[in-house]
Amino acid sequence: MLQLRSIFDFENKKKKLEKLNIEINDKDFWNNPQNAQKVSIEASTIEKLILSLKNLETNLKDIKELVDITDEENIEGNDFLDELKELEVQIEEIENEALYFGEYDDLNAVITINAGAGGVDAHDWAEMMLRMYTRFLSSKDMKYQIEEISQGEEAGIKSASIRVDAFRAYATLESERGVHRLVRISPFDSNKRRHTSFAGVDVVPLIDHNEEINIQDDEIRVDVYRSSGAGGQHVNTTDSAVRITHIESGIVVACQAERSQLQNKTRALELLKTKLILKQKEEELLKINNIRGDQHEAGWGRQIRSYVLQPYQQVKDSRSNTEVGNVGNVLDGDINIFIKEYLKWRRQGIND
């Protein structure tokens, strides 16, 4: 029992639930409905898991007592064997909870796609990835909004950012950070030759920064431009889109999701603050040599997944070595197996 509680991080979960319940019982809790819904879902998830663990402990105790008083010859004929199978399912569910241990796992996130090497094919590949992620998010009922999109000159997109407001959005999408490689017969090549294209994906948790960081006007450059959209989405016809460049770090963020320039600037600043906080924490980790080794990195500049359409069909993740033959389903948004296996790989990296 102690081992299960340790894997599940039982005591910390209890403390977290107590903290969330205090927040829920505050008279002003529903003044922010979006945050209230997120907190309520998180509290409900933790409460169910705590109850599941307690029930599991009780059932295991009952079965042990039953086994102790049952003759070995009659064990196979007893109903408790079916109960054992049910317990295995309960244990697996609880162990899955142990996959979510990261500091930012429960937070909302922004996923950004950028076309890489490969010209128009890369722009098309970036747009295919945008479709893949939006279909995945829709299938999971995860609320999202396309924050920014930049069209390619001939086809596809140069870049796009998606804000995802859902419990554990960051943990769910963290597996996608890195370089994605596509191999196929190019639809833009009249000679029907095989081309390799790349797209980079970044995933950032939306940290509640409060007063942790303050950005002065002279530290940033703000550019305003006309929004663009694709696939029947609403497109603003005024210069309301905002791009902000942090001069010292070179970090660039953009937003065009809102109708007003002020709203877009506010949301872009929120993302910029998050990226600056993450950069600061990463620099601190580097200083004390406490950052993960290369084998566990999933950042930019590292090819994490290959999607091969020609001469054979296969999607392979280079971290978990997960392989899928049905590329069409993956491109239609079925990336669940890659996410689950990544979370296991990430946990294993901590245990090694």
335 and 243 both lie in a single domain: yes
- The domain boundary residue, chosen from 75, 97, 119: 97
201 and 284 both lie in a single domain: yes
The per-residue pLDDT for 230 is 46
pLDDT average per 10 residues of sequence, the chain (352 residues): 59 84 89 80 80 77 71 55 72 78 87 90 96 97 92 92 93 95 92 92 82 82 77 52 93 90 90 87 62 36 86 95 96 97 86 54
Buried b or exposed e, range 47-69, using 16+ CB within 10 angstroms: eebbebbeebeebbeebeeeeee
Q: What tokens does 12 get?
A: 């910390």
The per-residue pLDDT for 65 is 73
92 and 124 both lie in a single domain: no
- The domain boundary residue, chosen from 68, 97, 126: 97
The per-residue pLDDT for 157 is 95
The per-residue pLDDT for 334 is 97
The per-residue pLDDT for 9 is 66
The per-residue pLDDT for 123 is 96
Domain hosting 220: range is 109-292+300-351
The per-residue pLDDT for 289 is 45
31 and 134 both lie in a single domain: no
**Beta strands at 178-185 and 157-165: parallel, antiparallel or unpaired:** unpaired
Whole-prediction pTM: 0.73
- The verdict on residue 64 lying in a domain is yes
The per-residue pLDDT for 73 is 52
How many domains is the chain built from? 2
174 and 257 both lie in a single domain: yes
89 and 198 both lie in a single domain: no
CATH number reported for the structural domain that contains residue 155 in this entry:
3.30.70.1660
Question: Please, are residues 42 and 134 in contact by the beta-carbon 8 Å criterion?
Answer: no
